[in-house]
Amino acid sequence: MYVGLLNFSILLVFGITGLEAMFSHGPSGSTESPVYSSFTAPANATDKQVADAVHRYLEPALAGPVPEFALSRDDDNNLTFTFYSANGTQRVTVLEKENRLKIEKRRNTIWQFFNNLHATTMNVNTADLRVRLWTLYTEFSIWSLIGMALSGMYLWLASRPGLRWAQAAFVAGAGIFILLYVVTR
Amino acid sequence: MMYRTMRNIHLFLGLFAFFFLMMYGLSAVQMAHNGWFNLKPSVSGQSYPVPQPVPSDARALSRYLMDEHGLRGELAQVRTTGTGIQFRIVRPGTVHQVEYIRDKSELAVQTSVADFWGMLNRIHHIAGLHHEYRLINIWSVFIALVSAGLILIAATGIYLWFKTHTERRIGTILLILSLGYSLTLMVLMRTAG
């Protein structure tokens, strides 16, 4: 009971996320017009070092530096990468010849925000304190979910295992899951 | 009467959703601590004869592989190369990477099959009702039912706690702490820009 109370809001986030996933057709949200910002790429820097310099310069909210594998070049050979956060994305193109950055922001809907929140776990790549504190809550909730499922099962078996409707609910849920798993496999 | 109804809803939904919730919990552990797990799929290769007349596109080729050779899944990541076509036939836990080279008389298929943990991971990511492979849509329906059930489990849990008078004080403190922490962070993150 106590664990459930501590996890009340994130259980709602999990539930909302699952419902959002059913109706999802991929990323959506509002895309803002591109903005440009002056930026001179450091001389003799690698692409990763330039991306890190852009991260320090823009300080995108909640987002960490871009890993090397996520760097790419567009058709004009400009360095491009994307900062990800629960709120959406910031796609950056480094226009080195023009000494400026092209920044395209996309803001997630509130439902996608919840979706991203539920996926914000301990291995997220950011030092932002708000995100780090949230990951602690997510970590706690993951173990809590397993603990609550197992303790609920124990409480049923220890108190009212003969309840026919409960048996039927368990058999139906287990049967559907196992059948789908096997058939999908 | 009301308490009994709520308790039964809580119990029945929890039992129905047990395997789904364990799937979510265990796969979430795997994703949050991916260093603890080795998700390397088992990979095997096979080749199939190209049908005559040669299908002109990836859809027709994938249909041939499904109908004649039993591959299952939905068509994804179609790429036309200078020499032919590459595409994938995907279902949760299994990916068939197909390569058709025009000059050859064979279709090369590399199949990656995930282990138990990889399978849980893929099921965790199922979303949407728009899939060509119907099994994924069926998964989606049950995942949505379980998600709605989870909200109800949380809501009935709150009711059951509130009706347990001896637990109200400590429960209220815990609930306020939890909501204060989580809602504050949610608002701070959503308004972060």
- ipTM value of the model? 0.89
CB contact under 8 A, A142 and B29: yes
Instruction: Give the residue, A30 or B110, on which the prediction is more confident.
Output: B110
Residues in B touching A178 (Cβ below 8 Å): 19
Residues 6+ apart with CB under 8 A from A43: none
For residue A27, name the pLDDT band (cuts at 50, 70, 90).
Answer: low
Instruction: Mention every residue, 6+ apart, whose C-beta is less than 8 A from residue A15.
Output: B147, B148, B149, B150, B151, B154
Query: Is residue B163 scored above 70 in pLDDT?
Result: yes
Give the length of chain B: 193
* pLDDT above 70 (res A52): yes
| b/e B125-155 (16+ beta carbons within 10 angstroms → b) | ebbeeebebebbebbbebbbbbbbbbbbbbb
pLDDT tens by residue, A108-139: 999 889 989 999 998 888 889 999 999 999 99
pLDDT score of A25 more than 70: no
Residue B138 pLDDT: 94
| Count, residues in chain A | 185
* Band (B83; pLDDT cuts 50, 70, 90): confident
Residue of B150, B164, B177 with shortest CB distance to A14? B150
User: DSSP letter at B37?
Assistant: -
In B33-115, which residue ranges form alpha helices assigned H by DSSP? Answer: 58-69
Strand partners, A175: none
Could you tell me if B128 and B28 are in contact, meaning their C-beta atoms sit under 8 angstroms apart? no
A103 CB near a chain B CB, below 8 Å? no
pLDDT level of residue B28 (50, 70, 90 thresholds): very high
Domain layout of chain B by residue ranges = 2-36+134-190, 42-113
The phi, psi pair for B85, rounded to 5°, reads -135, 140
How many cross-chain Cβ pairs, A to B, lie less than 8 Å apart?
199
Across the interface, whether the CB atoms of B171 and A166 are under 8 A apart is answered no
Number of H helices, E strands in chain A: 6, 6
| Nearest by CB: A130 against B23, B153, B189 | B189
Q: Which residues have a Cβ under 8 Å from the Cβ of B10 and sit 6 or more positions away?
A: B153, B156, B157, B160
Closest by Cβ to A177, choosing from B20, B34, B190 = B20
Which of A121-125, B32-36, B56-60, B183-187 is predicted most confidently? B183-187
Residue at A37: amino acid letter: S
Return the percentage of chain B with pLDDT > 90, whole number. 71
pLDDT interval class at B105 (50, 70, 90): confident
Cα Rg, chain B, nearest whole Å: 24
Q: What is the pLDDT of residues B130-158, one digit of tens each?
A: 898 999 999 999 999 999 999 999 999 99
Identity of residue B14:
G
Cα separation, A91 vs A36, in Å, equals 12
On the question of pLDDT at B32 being above 70, the answer is: yes
How confident is the model at residue B74, as a pLDDT? 93
Tell the residue number behind the tokens 């994703």, with chain if given.
B31
Tell me what the mean pLDDT of segment A151-173 comes to: 93
Looking at residue A28, its pLDDT comes to 66
The identity of residue A90, as a single letter, is Q
Q: Strand runs (DSSP E) across B42-82, as ranges? A: 42-49, 74-80
Share of chain A above pLDDT 70, in %: 97
